[in-house]
Structure 1
Amino acid sequence: MRPPLRSRLRPRHGTAPALAALAALTVLAAWLPAPRAAAEDGSGGSSQAWSVQPTARSAGAAAKRLAFRLDARPGSVIHDSVRISNLSTEPRSFQVYAADAYTTPRDGGLGYRQAGEAQHDVGAWVKMSTNALILPRRRAADIPFTVTVPADATPGTHTGGVVALDNTLHDGGTTDSGVEVSIQRAIAVRLELTVAGPLTPGLAVRGVGLVHTPDGTPFAAGRATVRYTVTNTGNTPVQGKAVITVTGLFGREIVTRTRSLPPVLPGQHTELALALGRAPPLDLLTATVTVSAAGVPATTARTHRLALSWPTLGVVTAVAALLVAALSQARRRRRTLAQEHL
C-alpha cells in the first residue's frame, strides 16, 4: 500500500529549487533498478510517479514492510534504511528527513511535522545519512539512517515518520484572493518505535457539546450534531469506539449511534463530530458520549441543551394566547349570565 501524500502550499515567487546546492549535498548511494509498481502523485501521468518504502530486509515478498516497527531499550541505537524510487522518466530531487507524527486536532487524521519545524520526539532521534537526494530516471536508492534512543526515553510507543519531499513544484491554481500557489508533495513512511517498559493504554472523552439546528417550519424536526474531544491518556496508540446517545425529557431515547474512533497517539487529542439527523423541535436534550477500547475502561461525558424552534414556539404561544383569550371570554359570559339571573 502506498503511503499517503501530503501537500504543502507555497507562493510561486522565489520557490524554484536550487538543484546545484542540492547536488552538492547528495549522497549517490548504490543505484538500484526502480521497482515496477507504479505510484502516481495525482497528476494522472506516470511521468510523475515516485514511491517511498522501508528497505526490504531480505529477498522475497515476505520481507516487504509497509512501515518501520521497531523495539528498543533506552540508550540503544538502531540502524535501518528507506528506499526512494523515481518511477518517472525525468530526474527528480528530494528532501529527506525524519519527523514527529501527531493526531490532527480535527477528525483524527495522522500528520507529520514539516522539515523546518522543531522535532521533539522520535523525529529528533533519527539521523539520516543525507537530507537531499537526486535520482535519475527509473532509479532507486536506499538511504541509511540511525535511531539513537535517549537514555531517559519514556516507555511506550513513539510515532513518527521518514518523509521524502519532492522538490518539484506543481500548479496549485489561484486562491479566492488572486494569489497563485504551487504545491509540493511528500510521502511519509510511518515509524513506530516502542521503548521497553510497561504499556498503559488510556482513553478519555471530554468537552461534549450538542448543536441543535431547528427547521424553519413549525413542528418540523430539526437536526442535532454532537461534538466531543477524545484524548489518549496512555503511552501507546489506541483505537476504540464511541457510543453517542441523545435523550429527551424524562430520559426518552431519541437516537443512539456507535462509531469507530480513529487511532489517537499518546498524549494527543482530537475533536470529532457526529450528525445525528432528526431531532425534536422542542425538548430538553441530553447528549451522552461513552468511549472504550480493548483493555481500556470506558469513560463517559455528557451535556444538556434546550432544543428550541422559534417557529414552533411562536405557534405554541399563539395557540396558548388564543386559549387564554377564549377562557377569559367564557368566564365573562358566565359572569354576565349569572348577573342577569339575579
Structure 2
Amino acid sequence: MPSRTRSVVPGAVLAAVALLSPSGAYAAPAPDGGRWTAAPASGGGARPSAQDRPYFYLEGAPGAVLEDRLALTNPGGSAVTFRLHGGPSRSGGWIATAGKEVRVPPRTRADVPFTVTVPRDVAPGDHPAALVAEGGGRTAAVPVHLRVTGPALAALSVEEVSVERRGSAAVIRYVLVNRGNTTLTPRLAVDADGLFGPALHRAARPLAVTLPPGRRVPLTEPWPDPPALDPVDVRLTVTAAGGARGTAEAAFTPVPWGAAAVPPAGLLAGAALWRVRRRRRAAGPRPGERRTEPETGTHTAPEAAARAGARS
C-alpha cells in the first residue's frame, strides 16, 4: 500500500545518510540469494518487507519540495558502493539524493534521504519517475508516483486505426494517446457493421496497459473470423476513469469489389444473351429476312426428286 505524502520541505536536500543495523544483524541469507535490494524505507527504522510500500507516492503543489527515504539493504559479506540518480522521464530530473554515491557496509541497511523539487510552472497531474540505484554490477529502479495538485484532466484519443488481412483472419491496429494530465487505465470496445448487418461486437474490457500523461502506445486487436466478402466499418471506442473517451473508425473490404464482381457480371451477361437469342428464335424471321431450315435425313418423295433434279 502506498503511504501518505511525506512532509513538504522548504530547504535543500537532507545531507545525512543513516546507517542502520549493526554488523551481523542481517547474517541470515536473503531470499534473493544474498543480493542487495532497493525499496522505499519503512517507518521506525524497521527493515523493509513484502508488506511495505512497492513504490513511492508523493503529492504536492507546483513549487513544493517533497521528501522521502530510499532503503538500500546489503545482506552480503562485502561492502557495496551505490550510485543514485533519478530517471528515466523528465520528472526524474526533479529528484536529488543526499549523495550521488553511497557506500553500504556488509549486512547493513542504509536509509538515503532524497527530495523531489516540483517546478513552479509544471502542469497538474501525474508525473511518473523512478529512483535508480546501481551497484555491484546490478541496477534497480524504484517507481516514484508523483502527483502535482491542481485541476485534473482525463482525456485520450484513438488514432491510426487500420485492419490488415492475415490469411483467413485479420488484425486491427491502432494507437492510444493520453491527451490529459492523469494516468489512465483504458477499456476497449470493438464493433463492426457491414452491408449484411453486424459483423463483430466486443463489449468494453480493460486493456493490460497503463497510460501516463502524453504517452502514445501502439496496440493490436486480433479478429479471427472477419467476413469473407462483406465490406465493414470497424469502430473502436476507448474509455477511462474521469470521463475520458475516444473513438475512431476504419473501413475494411475483405475482397476488392472489382475482382469480386467479374464472375457475377459474366454470368449475368451470358444469361441475357441466351434470353435474347431464345426470344428471336421463338418470334420467327423478321420481314425481308430469309429463314433457312437445317437439312435433315428425312424428306418426302417429291421433295427428294426436286432436290435431286436441282442438284443435277
When normalised by structure 2's length, the TM-score is 0.71
| Contact 1:56/1:64, CA 8 A, preserved across alignment | yes
Match in the other structure for 2:280 = 335
Would you say 1:191 and 2:144 are equivalent positions? yes
Of 14, 24, 38, the match for 2:31: 38
- Give the distance between the partners of 1:283 and 1:339, measured in 2 at CA: 45
Counting aligned pairs with the same residue, the percent is: 30
Of 151, 164, 167, the match for 1:211: 164
Shift of 1:123: 0.8
Report the AA paired with residue 54 of structure 1. Answer: P
Shift of 1:325: 3.6
- Give the distance between the partners of 1:88 and 1:275, measured in 2 at CA: 48
Would you say 1:53 and 2:46 are equivalent positions? no
User: What's the CA shift string for 1:214-271, capped at 9, x where partnerless?
Assistant: x4xxxxxx21222222222221111131111122225423332533132211122212
Report the AA paired with residue 200 of structure 2. Answer: I
User: What's the CA shift string for 1:37-66, capped at 9, x where partnerless?
Assistant: 523xxxxxx25x442210112366798211
Match in the other structure for 1:249 = 195
Shift of 1:76: 2.2
- Give the distance between the partners of 1:199 and 1:282, measured in 2 at CA: 46
User: What's the CA shift string for 1:144-197, capped at 9, x where partnerless?
Assistant: 2121222223222211011223552xxxxxxxxxxxxxxxx5322111122221
Of 235, 250, 253, the match for 2:181: 235
Shift of 1:203: 2.3
| Contact 2:17/2:113, CA 8 A, preserved across alignment | no
Would you say 1:156 and 2:125 are equivalent positions? yes
Of 52, 56, 60, the match for 1:68: 56
Report the AA paired with residue 78 of structure 1. Answer: L
SS of aligned partner of 2:266: helix
Q: Which has the higher strand share?
A: 1
SS of aligned partner of 1:278: coil
- Give the distance between the partners of 1:137 and 1:200, measured in 2 at CA: 47
SS of aligned partner of 1:332: helix
- Give the distance between the partners of 2:282 and 2:196, measured in 1 at CA: 44
> How many residues in Structure 1 have an aligned counterpart in Structure 2?
266
Match in the other structure for 2:242 = 295
SS of aligned partner of 2:230: strand
| Contact 2:17/2:98, CA 8 A, preserved across alignment | no
- Give the distance between the partners of 2:101 and 2:151, measured in 1 at CA: 38
Rate the CA distance shift 1:201–1:322 in 2: closer, same or farther, 3 A. closer
SS of aligned partner of 1:124: helix
Match in the other structure for 1:128 = 97
Matches within 5 A, 1:88-103: 94-99=82-87
- Give the distance between the partners of 1:90 and 1:245, measured in 2 at CA: 60
Report the AA paired with residue 280 of structure 1. Answer: P
When normalised by structure 1's length, the TM-score is 0.65
- Give the distance between the partners of 1:309 and 1:167, measured in 2 at CA: 61
Rate the CA distance shift 1:151–1:196 in 2: closer, same or farther, 3 A. same
| Contact 2:154/2:244, CA 8 A, preserved across alignment | no
Rate the CA distance shift 1:138–1:248 in 2: closer, same or farther, 3 A. farther
| Contact 2:126/2:145, CA 8 A, preserved across alignment | yes
Report the AA paired with residue 285 of structure 1. Answer: V
Rate the CA distance shift 1:151–1:327 in 2: closer, same or farther, 3 A. closer
Report the AA paired with residue 254 of structure 1. Answer: L
- Give the distance between the partners of 1:186 and 1:228, measured in 2 at CA: 34
Rate the CA distance shift 1:330–1:245 in 2: closer, same or farther, 3 A. same
- Give the distance between the partners of 2:206 and 2:73, measured in 1 at CA: 35
Match in the other structure for 1:143 = 112
User: What's the CA shift string for 1:288-312, capped at 9, x where partnerless?
Assistant: 11111232143321111211289xx
User: What's the CA shift string for 1:122-142, capped at 9, x where partnerless?
Assistant: 211111233345555544332
- Give the distance between the partners of 2:187 and 2:30, measured in 1 at CA: 35
Report the AA paired with residue 299 of structure 1. Answer: G
Gaps of 5+ in 1: 2-26, 40-45, 100-112, 114-118, 169-184, 216-221
- Give the distance between the partners of 1:95 and 1:283, measured in 2 at CA: 61
Higher relative CO (CA 8 A, sep ≥ 6), structure 1 or 2? 1
User: What's the CA shift string for 1:48-96, capped at 9, x where partnerless?
Assistant: x442210112366798211110112222222222122345566655432
Output the aligned Cα RMSD: 3.4
- Give the distance between the partners of 2:264 and 2:106, measured in 1 at CA: 78
| Contact 1:281/1:309, CA 8 A, preserved across alignment | no
- Give the distance between the partners of 1:201 and 1:167, measured in 2 at CA: 42
